[in-house]
């Protein structure tokens, strides 16, 4: 599990046409601005996601770890905001476990952006100070609900966080005030069998406290109106009872010690 750095050099001859040709055969997830008016055609509205995460505007002098980096949008954004070292990690996507997706997007974007973001293929549960070191800011987005052992995953992630941990995840049981976690033994969440657990916000905060974080700030929650709209869509698309979907959402939390 060695990390590598980009060896790409700035090329004054690069054009929009060259960029388009380089990215044309890649199945993108993130929407990454590669310059010259070219943005990768990803499934994810990456700028909208970024707004919900509330990354610090200025990361000058900070180190940044991105767990579950996929195409690397947030890794490259941290570098753009001044982070002096960025490590993008992934395993599930980069090893081709998501149909049509791979590490190709990350590698192409790093080259075209002339980025120095490092990479390491490593499972979230293998993350520790011994394997990746410790980092000022850690982003753990879109991963927790895919973990068969969510509390252990948070403990692993917290062990490498020095200042700020940003956790973003799908949630469930949001109408319950007490900590509660939904278990998906099959494909109950969005017909995706890689989804295992959906904590409610109370449970996520309780787990983060258990991991030693005392200053917790919910920086984003999926609005109720959007959850109502999703309930209607899921009722027809997935034949799911609307009351179930209404309790499901997304949340982003900033955790500090």
The string of pLDDT tens digits covering residues 216-248 is: 999 999 988 877 787 777 776 666 667 788 889
With both helix axes pointing from N to C terminus, report the angle between 201-210 and 150-158 in degrees, rounded to the nearest 10.
50
| pLDDT of 7 over the 50 cut | no
pLDDT at 116 > cutoff 70: yes
Polymer length of the chain: 257
In a domain, 25, yes or no: yes
Residue 189: its pLDDT value, please?
87
Look at phi and psi of residue 114 and say left if phi exceeds 0, alpha if psi is from -120 to 50, else beta: left
Is 8 within a domain? Answer: no
159-170: pLDDT as tens digits:
999 999 999 999
Q: Is residue 2 part of a domain?
A: no
For the chain, what is the mean pLDDT? Answer: 92
Domain assignment of residue 124, yes or no? yes
Identify the domain containing residue 229 by its residue range: 16-256
Q: Is residue 135 part of a domain?
A: yes
Phi, psi of 118 (to 5 degrees): -85, 165
Q: Would you say residue 9 lies in a domain?
A: no
**Residue 86's domain is classified under what CATH number?**
3.40.50.150
pTM greater than the 0.85 cutoff: yes
How many angstroms from the chain centroid is the CA of residue 15?
A: 30
Least-confidence region, from 82-96, 119-133, 186-200: 186-200
Overall domain count for the chain: 1
* Structure-token match 């068969």, residue found: 148
CB 157 within 8 A of CB 151: no
- State percent of the chain over pLDDT 90: 83
pLDDT at 11: 57
Task: Look at residue 5 and tell me if it is in a domain.
Answer: no
pLDDT (0 to 100) of residue 3: 42
- Evaluate whether residue 3 is within a structural domain: no
């Amino acid at each position: 599990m060695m990390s590598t750095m980009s060896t790409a050099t700035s090329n004054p001859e690069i054009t929009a046409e060259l960029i388009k040709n380089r990215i044309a055969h890649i199945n993108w997830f993130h929407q990454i601005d590669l310059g010259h008016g070219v943005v990768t055609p990803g499934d994810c509205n990456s700028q909208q996601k970024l707004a919900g995460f509330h990354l610090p505007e200025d990361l000058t002098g900070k180190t940044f770890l991105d767990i579950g980096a996929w195409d690397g949008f947030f890794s490259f954004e941290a570098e753009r905001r001044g982070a002096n070292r960025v490590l993008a990690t992934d395993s599930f996507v980069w090893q081709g476990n998501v149909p049509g997706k791979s590490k190709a997007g990350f590698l192409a974007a790093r080259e075209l952006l002339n980025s120095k973001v490092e990479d390491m293929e490593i499972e979230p549960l293998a993350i520790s100070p011994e394997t990746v070191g410790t980092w000022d800011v850690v982003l753990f987005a879109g991963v927790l609900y895919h973990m068969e052992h969510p509390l252990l995953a948070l403990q692993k992630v917290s062990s490498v966080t020095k200042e700020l941990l940003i956790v973003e995840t799908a949630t469930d049981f949001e109408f319950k005030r007490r900590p509660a976690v939904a278990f998906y033994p099959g494909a109950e969440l969005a017909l995706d069998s890689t989804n295992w657990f959906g904590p409610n916000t109370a449970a996520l905060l309780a787990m983060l406290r258990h991991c030693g974080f005392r200053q917790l700030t919910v920086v984003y929650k999926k609005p109720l109106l959007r959850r109502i709209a999703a309930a209607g869509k899921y009722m027809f698309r997935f034949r799911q009872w609307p009351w179930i979907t209404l309790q499901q959402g997304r949340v982003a939390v900033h955790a500090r010690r």
